[in-house]
Chain A
Amino acid sequence: DVKVTQSSRYLVKRTGEKVFLECVQDMDHENMFWYRQDPGLGLRLIYFSYDVKMKEKGDIPEGYSVSREKKERFSLILESASTNQTSMYLCASSKQGMGNQPQHFGDGTRLSIL
Chain B
Amino acid sequence: DQQVKQNSPSLSVQEGRISILNCDYTNSMFDYFLWYKKYPAEGPTFLISISSIKDKNEDGRFTVFLNKSAKHLSLHIVPSQPGDSAVYFCAASESGSGNTGKLIFGQGTTLQVKP
Check A104 against B46 for contact (C-beta < 8 Å): yes
CA distance A50 to B46 in the complex (A): 20
Is B74 in contact with chain A by the CB < 8 A criterion?
Answer: no
Is A41 in contact with chain B by the CB < 8 A criterion?
Answer: yes
Check B43 against A105 for contact (C-beta < 8 Å): yes
Contact pick for A31, options B91, B99, B107, CB 8 Å: B99
Check B89 against A48 for contact (C-beta < 8 Å): no
Which residues of A lie under 8 Å from residue B106 when comparing CB positions?
A: 42
CA distance A45 to B45 in the complex (A): 17
Interface size in chain B (residues, C-beta < 8 A)? 27
B95's nearest neighbour on chain A, judged by CB, is A100
A30's nearest neighbour on chain B, judged by CB, is B99
Check B41 against A108 for contact (C-beta < 8 Å): yes
Which residues of A lie under 8 Å from residue B93 when comparing CB positions?
A: 100
For window 32-46 of chain A, which residues contact chain B by CB distance below 8 Å?
A: 33, 35, 40-45
CA distance A55 to B107 in the complex (A): 25
Check B100 against A48 for contact (C-beta < 8 Å): yes
Contact pick for A103, options B46, B98, B99, B107, CB 8 Å: B46
Check B107 against A42 for contact (C-beta < 8 Å): yes
Q: Name B's A-contacting residues (CB within 8 A).
A: 6, 9, 32, 34, 36, 41-46, 49, 51, 89, 91, 93, 98-108
Q: Name A's B-contacting residues (CB within 8 A).
A: 4, 9, 30-31, 33, 35, 40-45, 48, 50, 56, 58, 90, 92, 94-97, 100-108, 110
Interchain residue pairs with CB less than 8 A apart (7)? A31-B100, A43-B89, A44-B105, A50-B101, A58-B102, A90-B43, A97-B99
